[in-house]
Structure 1
Amino acid sequence: MMSDRNVTKYCKRFLALCIVTGLLFTTTGCSVFGPKQKPYKTYKPSVSETPVASEQPVVNLSEEQAGEFARRYLAKMTTEQKVAQLFVVKLEELDGSQGGYYEFRKCTKGMKTTLSQIPVGGVVLFSRNISTRKKTSKLIQRLQVNSQTPLFVTVDEEGGSVARIASNKKMKTTKFPTAESIGKTKDGEYVYNMGRTIAREIRALGFNVNFAPVADVKTSDLNTEIGERSFGSDPGKVSDMVAAFVQGSQERGVCATLKHFPGQGSSDGDTHQGSVDIDSSISKLRDLDFVPFKAGIDAGAEFVMVSHISVSRVTETKEPASMSELIMKTILREELGFSGIVITDAFDMASITDNYTPGEAALQSFMAGADIILMPSDLTQAYQAILNAVNSKKITQSRLDESVIRILTTKFKHGILTQEDLTVWEQPTATPSVTPAVTVSPKAKKGKKNRESAKTIKKSTKNKSKK
């Protein structure tokens, strides 16, 4: 028999689901997005492309073939390996010896050790990790070599001020203007070629996921978090440019990411600094904020990044969108029809860390529908929380497999994982085991203790692999 508290909880959830479901049928015509959604425009290259050094052929397997390979790969994975794929982390979470912020530009022994303990799904690099083309390529290569399963190597390369690579002149990549100025002076064809150019140039360095384009419609001049990163205030124009960027990027082998769902262009706060609630109704979201996301989804975007804003008028709670089943499952999956990877915004932002422990945040987000947790403030705690929930059957294996299949399918589809990787993985003695993760946070390890721990783990891994 349920307690009064649980009854109240489930009643509220049921009421919220009923409200959203009911509203699906109250909008004009067949579309739930207010004005009828127009098909996105398709583009073809209109300019000759200068060959990029080290450029490899673009791989695009069919969804069916990639899915078959993913299921075969999954069948050989341990629960620990599956859970680890749910995380994309900054380098400081792989090597905490220098604190939470450090200019790592090479793959260290600490990183190799952590990758053997928690073989994460991917890494994110920032400007501080990027110095020269040669060093950046080598860093990525070494991270990949030391990863059991090939990594998503991600970066924020939007153009304008958020360009981790192009902002460094030594990287010799194309510098683009802000999205805001592009929205005022350029067209979809320009943005399509921009997406292609960025993708070709960063892929040559080893990146395979770009956290772009920004799909937020900027409707508030008080918005400082999005600001000039948005293509503008017209949802139709923003949609055209978002779809164009997605096409250009993915044609050149780099997965595009629509951000920041459900749309935070109307916010007047900053989730980096604290909790933010937007005063938007479901009808306003459909008529305005969802429109570019739907265009990007239709254009084939592989990732959608979910924001930490709350939308209390829709969810009837102040919980972040990145922890809301209503936002991620009911709206993004069911209403907008997104079948790709749902990734959260960074979990080291104050809007998360002020209110949740790393374990609580990761577990709640995954249970609500996220596939990948981006940048937990403590990887060990976040990983252990989900692993414990799976082992205790609070999370079913089928729920875990659902997300891991999406991740692996995307990796196979874009050549991050290959058929050769699968062949090696399926060999009876080839699949590496996972060294149990230490219970102490990597950030707590310093000096001699850290070196001794690393030696012990390395020795354990070596002995285990011989078996």
Structure 2
Amino acid sequence: MEERQRGQSRRNPKSRRRQRGPAAGWLVLLLVAAAAAAVSVFFLRHLKVQEEERAKTRDSSEAVVTEYFPGDDRNEAAKDSAASEENLEGKMPMTVEEALQEMTLREKVLQLFMVTPEALTGVDEVYAAGAKTEESIREYPVGGIVYFKQNLRSPDQVKDMLTRTQKYFRDNTGIEAFLAVDEEGGQVSRISGREEFGIASFPDMSEIGASGEPQKAYEVGDKIGTYLADLGFNMDFAPVADVLTNPENTVVARRSFGTDGAVTAAFSNEVVKGLQAHGISAVLKHFPGHGGTTADSHDGYAATERTLEELMAEDFVPFLEGGRAGARFIMSGHIAAPAVTGDNTPASMSPKMITEILRGTLGYDGIIITDALNMGAVTSSYSSADAAVRALQAGNDMLLMPEKFQEAYQGVLTAVENGTLSEERINQSVERILKVKFH
């Protein structure tokens, strides 16, 4: 049998070769598959290494950005600035009446406050808006935020910060905030004259007034309004409407348009027109007029000795005419007028000066905002809570920069709850505020 098999093998060599062919093919396929698997493993390992390197790069980038967004969440800060422009339409109520009906007492009281971003967030220095800003706005949706030089570093930085901030207000409250700055031009400027912004300085307003050409004042307002609107602001603490009636005054000497009430009114009104043509709400300051004082209310007690008749003839004229011209705000100063009120109460705390004269005699029905409540003329005599309540009782609508924001806010809320202030009184101010915001 073996012999037969060997014989058959010798007789069929082609058959043997045919049997080897398929085996060799399978071997080749196995070798190819093994090679492919090895390549795949190598490729996957290479991808994993690349991903790990990218992750390290992302972590490093976020760590750097965090330093730029003090107090803010790392991931929030790392978002591309383009994301801050999304969903800006918000949910603004259709009417002032609808908004008032929907708002809680707490929300209405918070609308009365304008604070710094530092006071709102508790961060030492704010120059960006991220998770901490959003969280603070959600907890304390104030009526507005005022920014100073340390908050403003470059055009792109300011645009991103203000865009994000306004978006947080829209998303959380449906109501925009006043985003303000002190940009008078000349002596008081937070933006112009700084190399980072590439905007030339303006002459002092005393020089503009001395030109005798009100058109120059309009050009100042127009230029300032243009770049403030571009940056994202909607409010400017300008112009100075103080008449320089005291030659010894150094507080507003360079900031005032002059010594004549009618001339000052003409020039300050042109600034108002220029600003508001770009959607920037103007603020006439500082009623009843800082031009008649010698002391600076930033430091402590400041007073004008002028009588009501003298004030009506000169100092009040720019505020009267400015109100008629459509200025959306008037700032009340911490300036005592004892010849008018009979005591040393600052005008900002005086019902006679604010409600009786500014509202009644001069007929102003726009928003009245106090000068900064952290100034010496206030803090030397009043607590933050007391100052806030007294200012509202006097007839002011908005409270600027209380020394202690939380204390002032709680003081007003408590005053309404215990009947010292009526909710109707709060509603009157909130209505004026919303009319401008919904304008």
With normalisation by structure 1, the TM-score equals 0.72
Instruction: Summarize the Cα distance change of 1:313–1:67 in structure 2 as closer, same or farther, 3 Å threshold.
Output: farther
Which residue of structure 2 lines up, in the alignment, with residue 114 of structure 1?
136
SS at match of 1:365: helix
Which residue of structure 1 lines up, in the alignment, with residue 432 of structure 2?
406
Question: Which of 158, 162, 168 is 1:146 aligned to?
Answer: 168
> 2:403 and 2:165 mapped to 1: Cα distance?
20
Contact preservation (8 Å) 2:220, 2:274: yes
Which residue of structure 2 lines up, in the alignment, with residue 30 of structure 1?
none
Which residue of structure 2 lines up, in the alignment, with residue 36 of structure 1?
none
Residue 345 of structure 2 is aligned to residue 356 of structure 1: no
Instruction: Summarize the Cα distance change of 1:201–1:314 in structure 2 as closer, same or farther, 3 Å threshold.
Output: same
Which residue of structure 1 lines up, in the alignment, with residue 409 of structure 2?
383
Residue 301 of structure 2 is aligned to residue 279 of structure 1: no
Which residue of structure 2 lines up, in the alignment, with residue 87 of structure 1?
113
Which residue of structure 1 lines up, in the alignment, with residue 156 of structure 2?
134
**Residue identity in the other structure for 2:227:** E
Pairing 1:98-109 to 2, within 5 Å after superposition: 98=124, 102=125, 104-109=126-131
Which residue of structure 1 lines up, in the alignment, with residue 361 of structure 2?
335
Give the unaligned 5+ runs of structure 1: 1-65, 414-467
Residue 333 of structure 2 is aligned to residue 307 of structure 1: yes
- 1:110 Cα deviation after fit: 3.8
Which residue of structure 2 lines up, in the alignment, with residue 192 of structure 1?
218
Residue 287 of structure 2 is aligned to residue 261 of structure 1: yes
* Worse-superposed segment, 172-181 or 281-290: 172-181
Percent identical pairs in the alignment equals 38
Which residue of structure 2 lines up, in the alignment, with residue 209 of structure 1?
235
Which residue of structure 2 lines up, in the alignment, with residue 59 of structure 1?
none
**Residue identity in the other structure for 1:194:** V
Question: Which of 101, 120, 125 is 2:147 aligned to?
Answer: 125
Bigger radius of gyration among the two: 2
SS at match of 1:371: coil
SS at match of 1:154: strand
- 1:173 Cα deviation after fit: 3.0
Higher helix fraction: Structure 1 or Structure 2? Answer: 2
The one-character-per-residue Cα deviations of 1:7-30 (angstroms, maximum 9, x if unpaired) are xxxxxxxxxxxxxxxxxxxxxxxx
- 1:380 Cα deviation after fit: 0.6
> 1:173 and 1:259 mapped to 2: Cα distance?
24
**Residue identity in the other structure for 1:395:** L
> 2:227 and 2:112 mapped to 1: Cα distance?
27
Which residue of structure 1 lines up, in the alignment, with residue 25 of structure 2?
none
Question: Which of 175, 181, 184 is 1:155 aligned to?
Answer: 181
Which residue of structure 2 lines up, in the alignment, with residue 75 of structure 1?
101
Which residue of structure 2 lines up, in the alignment, with residue 39 of structure 1?
none
Question: Which of 339, 347, 366 is 2:392 aligned to?
Answer: 366
Which residue of structure 1 lines up, in the alignment, with residue 262 of structure 2?
236
The one-character-per-residue Cα deviations of 1:238-275 (angstroms, maximum 9, x if unpaired) are 11101111112112211111000011101000001001
SS at match of 2:231: coil
SS at match of 1:229: coil
Instruction: Summarize the Cα distance change of 1:350–1:134 in structure 2 as closer, same or farther, 3 Å threshold.
Output: same
Q: CA RMSD in A?
A: 1.5
How many equivalent pairs are there?
A: 344
With normalisation by structure 2, the TM-score equals 0.76
> 1:111 and 1:356 mapped to 2: Cα distance?
29
> 1:257 and 1:387 mapped to 2: Cα distance?
26
- 1:183 Cα deviation after fit: 1.0
Contact preservation (8 Å) 1:211, 1:258: yes
Runs of 4+ in structure 1 displaced over 6 angstroms? none
**Residue identity in the other structure for 1:411:** K
Residue 310 of structure 2 is aligned to residue 288 of structure 1: no
Question: Which of 260, 269, 275 is 1:249 aligned to?
Answer: 275
Contact preservation (8 Å) 2:93, 2:99: no
The one-character-per-residue Cα deviations of 1:42-95 (angstroms, maximum 9, x if unpaired) are xxxxxxxxxxxxxxxxxxxxxxxx997111111111110000000000112112
> 2:241 and 2:339 mapped to 1: Cα distance?
21
The one-character-per-residue Cα deviations of 1:345-385 (angstroms, maximum 9, x if unpaired) are 00111111111111010011011111000001111110101
**Residue identity in the other structure for 1:184:** A
Q: Which has the bigger relative contact order, CA under 8 A and spacing at least 6?
A: 1
